[in-house]
Structure 1
C-alpha cells in the first residue's frame, strides 16, 4: 500500500470519528435535553422530585424508609415494602436479594434464609398492625418451619424409615414447632451441626393459604427501589395511622384513595399506592402532633 493511500484512509477515518463525536456526543444529548425541558416533561426528566417548603424530600419513582434511627417503624407513617438495595432504597446499590424459593435453611443466626426472613417480616408487620401474621411454612415465632428428615432412602429419594428428625431453623434449646414427624420425635438443631444429610422438608402448617399480611409487605422488589405498596398492605396500616394522627379511619382511607393508581393500561399489574406521596399528603392534611 502506497503511503499516500494510507494517509487518505486514516484522514477519512479521523473525519468520520469527529463527525460522529459531534453528532452522538454533542448534538444528540443537547437535543434530548431540550426536548426534556418541554412543559409536561420537565419534572419527569429531572427525576420526578417532590418538594416540601422548597426542599427536595424524595422522588415519586424511588421508595424510602419511614423509620427512626434504630430502624423502628414510625407510627404516624405508612411503611414501604422491604428493600435489598444497600442499606435500603439506595439508588447506587439497586439490587434484589438473589434468593429463590429453595433458600429455606438458615446459614447462621445472623444469616437467615429467605423463608425465615419472610416469616420474621410477617410477624413484625402483624405485631405492628394488630393482624394475623401466620403464613404457610412459618412457625408461630417467625422462622422457617423446615425439618431435616434423616434415615434410609428409597429409590425415589424419599426417607422410608426416619431415624432422626431435626427442626433445622430452631437452634437448641428452642422447643421445636412440631413435636413428632411420622412417629419420630422432632429435635432442635444443635449449633454447628450439619443436617444436610437429611431430606429437607418444609412444613406448610395450618396457616391460611391467603395470608392477611400480603406478599409485598414481606418481600423486596427486584430493584429494591419500588415506591409503591399494594392496596392490601395500605389497608392493614389504616388503624395505626388513624390512631397515631388522632383522625378517623375514613379520613385515612380517603387519602389512600387519592394516591392509588390503577392497573397500567387497565390490565397490567395491580392497583398500587405511592407511599411517599401518601405520607406527604397526610402531613399536609393531618399533621402529626405526637
Structure 2
C-alpha cells in the first residue's frame, strides 16, 4: 500500500511547493522588476495619485483634452439605465452592429457635441474627423487617443486657457508615444498625461484638478 501512497504524497508535496510557493513568489518578484505596472501604472501629482495611465477619465471641461466616447452605462436610484462613461468598476462596449440605428444616432449626437466645442474636420490635417472622436472602444476605459484627435482639440483648449495653440501642440507632440518596438499598435497620446502637462504650463493658464472623485473634471 505504501508503494501506492508514496508517489501520490510526493506529487501533492511537489505540486504544493511549485504551484503554491514557487509560482506566486516568482510573480511577486516579477512585480518588483516593474513596480509601476504591478501597482496599476498610477500617475502621480504632488505626491498624490490622480489616476492610472491605463484607465481613462471623463474629462468634460473645455480646458482639457477629452478622451474617446465611452459606452459604459449604469443604473440610477430608480433602476433606469443611465450613461456612466469611464466607470472603472466595470467595462462595457455598446455591441451595436454597424447597421444599428441607435449607433448612427449616437454618432450623430457625438458629431453635434464636437461641433458645439468648435471641433470638426477642419481642425485635422487630413480634413476628416478621427474615428476615435466618435466611436467608443471595446472596453469603454481607453486612456489613450490618436494624435489626430488630440491635435484636433488643440485650438479650443488653447482658447479656453488663454494660451498659445502652439503650446498645446508642443505638449501633445511630446506626449505622443510611437508604436511598440516600431511595429505593434498605433501612435497614441495619453489623455491624463497631456492634461497634467497642460496644468504645469507657466502662470496664465487656468489650473484644473485632474483626478477628482469619479475621475471627472468639469
- Alignment equivalent of 1:218, drawn from 134, 137, 146: 134
Task: Verify the 8 A CA contact 1:78 1:275 in the aligned structure 2.
Answer: yes
The alpha-carbon distance between structure 1 residues 61 and 289, as it changes in their structure 2 partners (threshold 3 A), is: closer
CA shift, 1:48, in A, is 1.1
Number of matched pairs: 193
Q: Specify the alignment match of 2:206 in structure 1.
A: 288
**TM-score, structure 2 as length reference:** 0.78
Alignment of 1:16-165 (within 5 A): 16-38=11-33, 41-66=34-59, 73-86=60-73, 87-104=84-101, 113-131=102-120
Residue deviations 1:8-35 (CA, integer Å, cap 9, x gap): 6456434423431332122211122123
Alignment of 1:259-274 (within 5 A): 259-274=175-190
Unaligned runs of 5+ in 2: 74-83, 209-218
Q: Decide which moves more: 80-89 or 55-64.
A: 80-89
Q: Specify the alignment match of 1:142 in structure 2.
A: none
**Which structure shows the bigger proportion of residues in strand conformation?**
1
Task: Verify the 8 A CA contact 1:85 1:91 in the aligned structure 2.
Answer: no
**TM-score, structure 1 as length reference:** 0.60
Q: Specify the alignment match of 2:195 in structure 1.
A: 279
Q: Specify the alignment match of 1:246 in structure 2.
A: 162
| Secondary structure of the structure 2 residue equivalent to 1:50 | strand
| Secondary structure of the structure 2 residue equivalent to 1:114 | helix
CA shift, 1:56, in A, is 0.7
**Which structure shows the bigger proportion of residues in helix conformation?**
2
Q: Specify the alignment match of 1:258 in structure 2.
A: 174
